[in-house]
Structure 1
């Protein structure tokens, strides 16, 4: 099941099954977003689903843009990959709004201080943007670095969370 809502940063699409958000991001192209979902999880989308989690996620996004920047952290998310990356995504969910971290600090928090590139890879492969807040990770020099949906959206999100 997918839904797209308008946000100040553009259309935001959420793909969810009965249990969790599987992918999300600032696009109206649900098919392209769906390609980010691990094949094992994508298969779950073939089953009939309720829209409970999708509604919860949509409400959290609306609350986020209304000022409750913690709202997305309450929505269940599931992604699949190797053990490090899955742990890194869970670690990202613990990075507080308004307190971005560097890739080096993110690697350390993920339990592998030397794995800065692996930490960056976890951000790059994150399918559940906003719910897994990879936008809160910056380069060591404090610059924004990359973001699948563009640095303007990353800047907007960080500015919103700083307030």
Structure 2
């Protein structure tokens, strides 16, 4: 796993612009925002890079977005849909928040495809078993869907919980990885 998630301290560098690319997938258009090094800042099943830009923490949000070839980022999305479910975890992600959310995003990147984990299990993996609600917040505030696989987390009763891009896509991803 490769991640550049950041703690609550102020980021040293913020790119003036990010590139974006959209890939057609079985679940609809998937767009990613990334820097010159292919580090993902935001992604999801939308065709609007501006929607994703708004999800980036203000301390990391760029002023401009520029369409670019997707390179390794787009290749990872295609590889995922071709059955290499670990491909997105090999792409670096940059998000900014407090220590628990950063730990939870890191823990999410270690959740393998297959049976999903619960919010309780995610809290334990992130180092604070009592922080179940914060684990749910980690998923809700995750700007880099698929690269930080919040779709792999469900309620303790097995219910899907929520998903920014719709429960139909979450179920499709879980079915694909089963």
Q: Which segments of 5 or more consecutive residues in structure 1 lack a partner in the other structure? A: none
* Equivalent position to 1:154, from 142, 152, 170: 170
Cα distance in 2 between the residues matched to 1:46 and 1:57: 19
- Spell out, residue by residue over 1:98-130, the C-alpha distance to the aligned partner (whole angstroms, 9 max, x if none): 131000010011101000000000000000000
* Equivalent position to 1:8, from 26, 46, 49: 26
Q: What is the deviation of 1:147?
A: 0.2
The aligned counterpart of 1:38 is 57
RMSD: 1.8
The aligned counterpart of 2:4 is none
| 1:1-163 map, 5 Å | 1-19=19-37, 20-43=39-62, 46=64, 54-162=70-178
Q: What is the deviation of 1:67?
A: 0.9
Q: What is the deviation of 1:6?
A: 0.7
Cα distance in 2 between the residues matched to 1:104 and 1:86: 16
Q: What is the deviation of 1:46?
A: 5.0
Cα distance in 1 between the residues matched to 2:104 and 2:121: 12
Cα distance in 1 between the residues matched to 2:71 and 2:142: 21
TM-score by length of 1: 0.92
Cα distance in 1 between the residues matched to 2:35 and 2:61: 9
Q: Which segments of 5 or more consecutive residues in structure 2 lack a partner in the other structure? A: 1-18
Cα distance in 1 between the residues matched to 2:135 and 2:161: 13
TM-score by length of 2: 0.85
3-state SS in 1 of match to 2:36:
coil
Q: What is the deviation of 1:5?
A: 1.1
Q: What is the deviation of 1:42?
A: 1.6
Cα distance in 1 between the residues matched to 2:58 and 2:136: 22
Q: What is the deviation of 1:87?
A: 1.2
Q: Which has the higher helix share?
A: 1
